[in-house]
C-alpha cells in the first residue's frame, strides 16, 4: 500500500510576497516608523514656529510687527512650512515606492528610495531634542533619519544613477557627508566649536564645485546616450538643489526683525522646500517619461499613490 506523500505547508500569499519583496516590506516598515516619529514632533514644531522660539527674545515682537506689515504672521509661517512638508512627504514617498517596487530592482535604487523616505522627516539636529523632549526612541529615529537624508542628499550627485562614485575621488565627499552628519546628529561635542566662517565657506564652495564637475564629467564622458536621455532631468535637479540648500541655510542663519532679516525668512521659506523637492520631482519626471531604472509605470500604481496620500494626510490631520 502506497503511503501518501506528506505535503509541506505552503507559504501564505503574504509570506511569499515578503520573501520576494523584502526591500519593499522593509521600506514600508521604515515609512511607518519614520512617519510616526515625525507626527510626534509636528505639534511642537508648529508651536515653536508660532512662538518664534528660534528668534532672540528681544527681536520677536519686532519680527511680528514686520510680518504684519506684509499681512503675515508666525501662524502663516508655521502652516506654510507644515503644508510644504506634507507635499514633500507625499511626493518623496510616491517616488520612493516606485523605486523600491520596480521589477529590475537594484541596490542603488533601493538606497535612493530610503534616502527619499528619510528626507520626509529630516530635522536640523540641534532642534531634535527640543522638538521631542523626553522621547529618546523618537529622537534616535529622527537622528538616524536625518543622517540618511542629509548624507544621502549631498552624496547623490556623485553616485547617480548607478551607485558608482564618478570620478572615484568623490568617494571622499561621500564619507565626509555621512560621517559629518552622523557626528553632528549624535556626537556634536566631538566637532570643533566656533569653526571660522572662512573654513565653512571654502568647504561649501569646494563641495558645490565638486558636484558640478562630477555631474558634468559623468554626463559628458561616462554616460551613454540612453543614460543621458534618462538622467538629464535629475542631473539638472541635483545641480540646482544642492546650491539651493546652502543658500537656504545661509538665509536661515540671518533671519531677524530687520528688513533684511525678514527678507531672509521669506527667502528661506521659498528656497528650502524647492531645494529638497526638486530632486524627487525631476526623478519622477525621469521615471514617468523616460523609464529611468527601466520602471514601467502602470495605471494601478496611481492607486498606491492615492492610498499613501490619504494615509500620510490622515496621520498629520490626526495629530
pLDDT at 182: 93
Task: Enumerate residue ranges in the chain where pLDDT < 50.
Answer: 1, 6, 103, 296-303, 305-306, 310, 313-319
CB 92 within 8 A of CB 116: yes
Q: What is the pTM of this model?
A: 0.78
In a domain, 53, yes or no: yes
Torsion of CA 248, 80, 117, 145, to 10 degrees: 60
Name residues whose C-beta falls within 8 Å of residue 234's C-beta, 6 or more positions apart in sequence: 160, 161, 279, 282, 283, 286, 292
* Total domain count, the chain: 1
96 domain residue, yes or no? yes
Residue 7 lies in a domain: no
8 assigned to some structural domain: no
Q: What is the pLDDT of residue 288?
A: 67
- Residue 165 has φ and ψ, to the nearest 5°, of -75, 120
- The confidence score (pLDDT) of residue 190 equals 66
Distance of CA 4 to the CA centre of its chain: 57
> Could you write out the DSSP letters of every residue in 178-218?
HHHHHHHHH-GGGSPSS--HHHHHHHHHHHHHHHHHHHHHI
Residue 4 forms part of a structural domain: no
**pLDDT tens, residue by residue, 288-300:** 666 666 554 443 4
pLDDT tens profile 25-75: 889 999 999 999 988 888 888 898 898 888 888 888 888 998 898 888 999
CA-based nearest residue to 117, from 310, 308, 313: 308
In a domain, 12, yes or no: no
Domain that holds residue 275: 23-318
Q: Does residue 185 fall inside a structural domain?
A: yes
Is position 214 within any domain?
yes
Are the beta carbons of 135 and 40 closer than 8 angstroms? yes
Amino acid at each position: 500500500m502506497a503511503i501518501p506523500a506528506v505535503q509541506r505547508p505552503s507559504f501564505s500569499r503574504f509570506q511569499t510576497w515578503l520573501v520576494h519583496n523584502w526591500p519593499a516590506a522593509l521600506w514600508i516598515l521604515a515609512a511607518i516608523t519614520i512617519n510616526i516619529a515625525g507626527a510626534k514632533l509636528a505639534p511642537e514644531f508648529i508651536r515653536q514656529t508660532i512662538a518664534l522660539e528660534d528668534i532672540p527674545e528681544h527681536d520677536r515682537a519686532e519680527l511680528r510687527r514686520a510680518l504684519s506689515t506684509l499681512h503675515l504672521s508666525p501662524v502663516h509661517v508655521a502652516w506654510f512650512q507644515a503644508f510644504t512638508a506634507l507635499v514633500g512627504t507625499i511626493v518623496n514617498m510616491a517616488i520612493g515606492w516606485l523605486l523600491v517596487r520596480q521589477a529590475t530592482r537594484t541596490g542603488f535604487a533601493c538606497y535612493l528610495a530610503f534616502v527619499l523616505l528619510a528626507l520626509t522627516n529630516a530635522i536640523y539636529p540641534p532642534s531634535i531634542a527640543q522638538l521631542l523632549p523626553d522621547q529618546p526612541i523618537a529622537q534616535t529615529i529622527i537622528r538616524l533619519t536625518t543622517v540618511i537624508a542629509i548624507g544621502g542628499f549631498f552624496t547623490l550627485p556623485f553616485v547617480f544613477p548607478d551607485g558608482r562614485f564618478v570620478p572615484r575621488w568623490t568617494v571622499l565627499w561621500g564619507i565626509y557627508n555621512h560621517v559629518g552628519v552622523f557626528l553632528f546628529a549624535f556626537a556634536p561635542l566631538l566637532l570643533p566649536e566656533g569653526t571660522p566662517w572662512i573654513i565653512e565657506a571654502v568647504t561649501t564652495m569646494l563641495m558645490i564645485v565638486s558636484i558640478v564637475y562630477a555631474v558634468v564629467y559623468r554626463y559628458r564622458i561616462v554616460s551613454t546616450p540612453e543614460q543621458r536621455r534618462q538622467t538629464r532631468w535629475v542631473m539638472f535637479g541635483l545641480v540646482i538643489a544642492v546650491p539651493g540648500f546652502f543658500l537656504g541655510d545661509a538665509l536661515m542663519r540671518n533671519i531677524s526683525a530687520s528688513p533684511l532679516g525678514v527678507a531672509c525668512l521669506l527667502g528661506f521659506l521659498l528656497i528650502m522646500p524647492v531645494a529638497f523637492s526638486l530632486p524627487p520631482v525631476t526623478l519622477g519626471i525621469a521615471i514617468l517619461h523616460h523609464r529611468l531604472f527601466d520602471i514601467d509605470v502602470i495605471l494601478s500604481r496611481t492607486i498606491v499613490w492615492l492610498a499613501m496620500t490619504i494615509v500620510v494626510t490622515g496621520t498629520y490631520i490626526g495629530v
